[in-house]
Amino acid sequence: MACPFLDDVLDEEALILRRAFRRERVFQDRSDPLAFGDDHLIERYRFSGDGLRYLCRLLSPKIQHQTARSHALTVPQMVCVTLRFLASGSFLYSAGDAENLNKGNICRTIRRVCLALKSLINIFITFPGHRRPLHIKEEFYKIAAFPNIIGAVDCAHIRIKRPSGEHEGDYINRKSFHSINVQMIWDADCLVSNLEAKWPGSVHDSRVFRASPIYQRLSQGEFSGVLLGDKGYACESFLLTPLADPQTPPQQAYNHAHTKTRARIEMTFGILKSRFQCLHHLRVSPDRACDVIAACAVLHNIAGLRKERPPRVAVDVVWENAPIFPDNINGRLVREQYIASFFT
């Protein structure tokens, strides 16, 4: 006759043995933000594991703490907490919570990494681009058969919090919110080839362009080729704008090719803002906002050059401004020559 008590003892011993020989669970090291797969990393940081390791090697000489005193963050932690903030557009303390890091270090860390990225701007953002000018022209030509193009220029307003001080009104744009008016020139590979990120939102696109160093270089004939700009710019010999009222078939063909080619810049603004959600609203002072914008532009080019997986893109709405400078006579002549030579 079986003994119920003995059966209970045997069952308990079997349970103990199963627990003893159960395979040990393996936990990922959460102190190492790179200890995850690429899908996880790209979703949170916009870079794959290889891309993040590249950024760590690139930035380490500029951001690495000399000692581990006070539990200083590692380079991967500093890079990842910054990318988390840039990619998510969340508040600073939210980025700290997401990375399980001390909130007090987050602001200083992001500032440190953004300034390090900004210091690399002349390496990763270069005009007319990282490829030979002939290749850039060929890539633009493939879009809509518009010849001799080395870039497309436009401005985008990056919303910022209301700044303090007597110049607060300078940052109110014509849509009645505070912003930085950021000028970018793009190549056909959707890379930034020139950046001006310092002007208050009330400053017109044409004035930003006229005051930029690239305008002086173009006007002095330093580059072979022309830019495309919208009707908010004055037509110049080196900057072609659309016709206000095209009448003839060649004029209409010119405008169609111009519009189709320039559409690439709207898509590229969309890629940039989709990759770095913080650019929808920067809750920092104007000076720091400009630094963050520069850091995002550098990161965007690094991602493009390394063929990182692009985000889902929502095409950005680029404002059309009325020009404040009249067309240059030579600019009109060049535009007429283009129409006669390539669009008849």
- 61 belongs to a structural domain: yes
> What gap in Å lies between CA 191 and CA 184, rounded to an integer?
10
Q: Is the CB of residue 163 less than 8 Å from the CB of residue 289?
A: no
> What gap in Å lies between CA 257 and CA 337, rounded to an integer?
15
- 184 belongs to a structural domain: yes
Q: Say whether both 273 and 311 belong to one domain.
A: yes
Q: Is the CB of residue 251 less than 8 Å from the CB of residue 174?
A: no
Q: Is the CB of residue 153 less than 8 Å from the CB of residue 239?
A: yes
- 9 belongs to a structural domain: no
- Give the number of other Cβ atoms within 10 Å of residue 90's Cβ: 16
Q: Identity (one letter) of the amino acid at 143?
A: I
Helices (H), the chain: 4-21, 38-45, 49-63, 75-88, 92-98, 103-118, 121-124, 133-144, 205-210, 213-219, 249-275, 286-305, 329-342
Read out DSSP for 203-230?
Answer: S-HHHHHHTSHHHHHHHTT-SSSEEE--
* Range name among 94-98, 146-150, 157-161 with the lowest pLDDT average: 94-98
- Looking at residue 267, what is its pLDDT? 82
Mean local confidence (pLDDT), 15-40: 62
Q: Is the CB of residue 262 less than 8 Å from the CB of residue 228?
A: yes
- 13 belongs to a structural domain: no
Q: Say whether both 157 and 250 belong to one domain.
A: yes
> What gap in Å lies between CA 91 and CA 225, rounded to an integer?
43
Q: Is the CB of residue 226 less than 8 Å from the CB of residue 341?
A: no
Query: Quick check: 104 pLDDT over 70?
Result: no
**Residue 300 structural domain:** 123-342
Q: Say whether both 157 and 44 belong to one domain.
A: no
Last residue of a domain, one of 119, 140, 167: 119
Last residue of a domain, one of 81, 99, 119: 119
Q: Token pair for residue 190? A: 């959707």
Q: Say whether both 174 and 321 belong to one domain.
A: yes
| Mean pLDDT for the chain overall | 87
Mean local confidence (pLDDT), 146-162: 95
- 31 belongs to a structural domain: no
Query: Quick check: 98 pLDDT over 60?
Result: no
Q: Is the CB of residue 193 less than 8 Å from the CB of residue 129?
A: yes
- 180 belongs to a structural domain: yes
> Number of folded domains in the chain?
2
Tell me how far apart the 2 most distant CA atoms of the chain are, in Å. 113
Q: Say whether both 172 and 65 belong to one domain.
A: no
Query: Quick check: 165 pLDDT over 90?
Result: no
- 56 belongs to a structural domain: yes
- Looking at residue 94, what is its pLDDT? 60
Last residue of a domain, one of 119, 134, 153: 119
> What gap in Å lies between CA 192 and CA 98, rounded to an integer?
30
- Over residues 231-253, the pLDDT tens digits come to 989 999 999 999 999 999 999 99
> What gap in Å lies between CA 191 and CA 140, rounded to an integer?
13
- 260 belongs to a structural domain: yes
- Over residues 128-146, the pLDDT tens digits come to 999 999 999 999 999 999 9
- Looking at residue 307, what is its pLDDT? 94
> What gap in Å lies between CA 312 and CA 314, rounded to an integer?
7
Residues forming a β-bridge with 102: none
Banded model confidence at residue 30, pLDDT cuts 50, 70, 90: very low
Q: Say whether both 102 and 132 belong to one domain.
A: no
Query: Quick check: 4 pLDDT over 70?
Result: no
Q: Say whether both 127 and 114 belong to one domain.
A: no
Banded model confidence at residue 25, pLDDT cuts 50, 70, 90: very low
Percentage of the chain surpassing pLDDT 90? 69
Q: Say whether both 97 and 157 belong to one domain.
A: no
Nearest to 150 by CA among 184, 116, 180, 193: 193
Q: Say whether both 86 and 176 belong to one domain.
A: no
Q: Is the CB of residue 239 less than 8 Å from the CB of residue 227?
A: yes
Q: Is the CB of residue 239 less than 8 Å from the CB of residue 229?
A: yes
- Over residues 60-91, the pLDDT tens digits come to 999 987 655 555 788 999 999 999 999 988 76
Q: Say whether both 87 and 129 belong to one domain.
A: no
Q: Say whether both 183 and 266 belong to one domain.
A: yes
Sign of the CA dihedral 298, 301, 305, 311? positive
Q: Say whether both 193 and 152 belong to one domain.
A: yes
